């Protein structure tokens, strides 16, 4: 099965396998990115690369700001932000009233942490697969309020992938009468697992526990309908899989909790003579800053939608599956999870050894940018695939691992 992108025929997949080996269409799309010639970039999950169209749109917004900042900030910006937020809301299947732009998921998570009123003895529950910065945010907040930070241990993965039911049970079993908030990744950073969010939201709601989803890897990588998740808060970065500019992200707050949200720093909220009338108004004017990244988000959405989000997901998931299979042929290690539980990036088990040295060697000697780290007593490698990724990049990584392991 194929879908046309303009005059280009895009190959689809059957049972997770590339239908044909002619990747001219995908190479055509890869040309939308400008990547340094000495680099095989397999780390989109850390810092996404904006395509050329997005870079140019960002520069146009900055030029428009710089050539007349008073007119831009005072007369144009409120409507421009409203329009950009509305486009993002449509993409995320929610109302613009439920969203604010934030620089990244970490900034948004800090807003949530300072907006939750905790008392001594209250409990915040995370998992041991949460991003390190998120754990630091909540550790500080719990210390400040004398609340308790608890960490649920997810099932091991060294010998066999855990089931979604096992993952859910490992978290829900840690709920207590003092649990006020569950913070959980939609897609985990270190292990690239798609978490059972629907089941977790349902379980938390039954206990009256708020839930904040940390979702920097979700927008574009997987379908996202914020209204249907049922969560209270959702934080995300847009510079990853959506390939929007660095400095673009968002915070979603469900209407039932939105009025709890408070900014970490206080400014005008909205420029006079307007005054804040809704929770989101406090975040429009946080002091003088460059909003160009926020205003470029619609360009990134349009670019990804012009390719076709289904085509993007099928193509990149196929490459991630290929990477999982190829790396296993070198390491002999079992998969950490099944293909149904990861999307455009996959984490694989490696033999024990020094992670920093291997990552440095892959870059210095092979020109491959890919993260290697220690996690839960294992050495892991995480491969991210985007529209510029080719099968030959995976083969180069596989051959490099064969030489270095």
Choose among 224, 226, 282, 276: nearest CA to 254: 226
Q: How confident is the model at residue 66 (pLDDT cuts 50, 70, 90)?
A: very high
Kindly report, residue by residue over 149-180, the tens digit of the pLDDT. 999 999 999 988 999 999 999 999 999 999 99
The upper half-sphere exposure of residue 271, i.e. CA atoms within 13 Å in the direction of its Cβ, equals 12
Domain 2-31+308-404 has CATH 3.40.190.10: no
Q: Where does 187-267 show beta strands of DSSP type E? A: 210-214, 233-237, 249-253
Q: Does residue 215 surpass a pLDDT of 60?
A: yes
CB 191 within 8 A of CB 373: no
Question: Do 2-31+308-404 and 56-304 have matching folds?
Answer: no
Q: How confident is the model at residue 16 (pLDDT cuts 50, 70, 90)?
A: very low
Topology of 56-304 in CATH?
Answer: 3.40.640
Q: What is the rounded distance in angstroms from the CA atom of residue 126 to the CA atom of residue 147?
A: 13
Domain ranges (residues) in the chain: 2-31+308-404, 56-304
CB 200 within 8 A of CB 168: yes
Q: What is the rounded distance in angstroms from the CA atom of residue 8 to the CA atom of residue 26?
A: 9
Q: What is the rounded distance in angstroms from the CA atom of residue 121 to the CA atom of residue 139?
A: 14
Give the residue-averaged pLDDT of 294-317: 96
pLDDT attached to residue 341: 96
State how far the alpha carbon of 173 is from the alpha carbons of 154, 205, 323, in Å.
Answer: 11, 14, 34
pLDDT attached to residue 28: 84
Q: How confident is the model at residue 24 (pLDDT cuts 50, 70, 90)?
A: confident
Q: What pTM, to 2 d.p., does this model score? A: 0.93
CB 278 within 8 A of CB 96: no
pLDDT attached to residue 26: 84
Q: How confident is the model at residue 182 (pLDDT cuts 50, 70, 90)?
A: very high
CB 42 within 8 A of CB 384: yes
The order of strands in the sheet holding 372-375 is 345-350, 378-384, 372-375
Q: What is the rounded distance in angstroms from the CA atom of residue 265 to the CA atom of residue 282?
A: 10
Joined together, the tokens standing for residue 258 give 């939105």
């Amino acid at each position: 099965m194929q879908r046309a992108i303009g005059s280009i025929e895009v190959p689809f997949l059957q049972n997770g396998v590339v239908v044909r080996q002619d990747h001219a269409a995908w190479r055509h799309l890869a040309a939308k990115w400008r990547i340094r010639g000495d680099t095989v970039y397999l780390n989109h999950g850390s810092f996404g690369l904006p395509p050329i169209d997005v870079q140019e749109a960002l520069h146009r917004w900055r030029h428009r700001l710089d050539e007349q900042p008073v007119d831009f900030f005072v007369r144009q910006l409120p409507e421009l932000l409203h329009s950009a937020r509305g486009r993002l809301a449509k993409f995320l299947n929610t109302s613009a009233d439920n969203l604010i732009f934030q620089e990244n998921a970490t900034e948004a998570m800090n807003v949530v942490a300072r907006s939750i009123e905790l008392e001594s003895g209250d409990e915040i529950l995370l998992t041991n697969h949460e991003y390190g910065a998120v754990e630091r945010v909540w550790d500080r907040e719990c210390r400040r309020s004398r609340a308790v930070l608890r960490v649920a241990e997810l099932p091991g993965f060294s010998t066999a992938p855990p089931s979604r039911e096992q993952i859910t049970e490992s978290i829900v079993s840690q709920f207590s009468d003092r649990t006020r908030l569950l913070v959980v990744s939609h897609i985990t950073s270190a292990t690239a697992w798609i978490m059972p969010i629907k089941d977790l939201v349902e379980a938390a709601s039954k206990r009256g526990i708020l839930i904040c989803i940390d979702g920097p890897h979700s927008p574009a990588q997987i379908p996202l309908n914020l209204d249907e998740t049922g969560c209270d808060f959702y934080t995300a970065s847009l510079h990853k899989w959506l390939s929007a500019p660095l400095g673009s992200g968002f915070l979603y707050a469900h209407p039932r909790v939105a009025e709890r949200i408070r900014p970490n720093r206080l400014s005008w909220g909205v420029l006079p003579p307007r005054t804040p009338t809704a929770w989101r108004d406090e975040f429009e004017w946080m002091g003088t800053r460059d909003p160009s990244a926020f205003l470029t988000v619609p360009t990134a959405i349009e670019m990804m939608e012009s390719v076709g989000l289904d085509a993007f997901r099928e193509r990149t998931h196929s490459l991630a599956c290929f990477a999982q299979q190829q790396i296993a042929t070198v390491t002999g290690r079992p998969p950490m999870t099944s293909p149904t539980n990861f999307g455009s990036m996959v984490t694989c088990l490696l033999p024990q050894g020094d992670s920093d040295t291997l990552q440095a060697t892959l870059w210095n000697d092979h020109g491959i940018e890919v993260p290697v780290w220690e996690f839960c007593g294992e050495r892991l490698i995480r491969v991210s695939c985007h529209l510029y990724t080719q099968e030959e990049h995976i083969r180069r990584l596989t051959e490099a691992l064969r030489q270095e392991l």
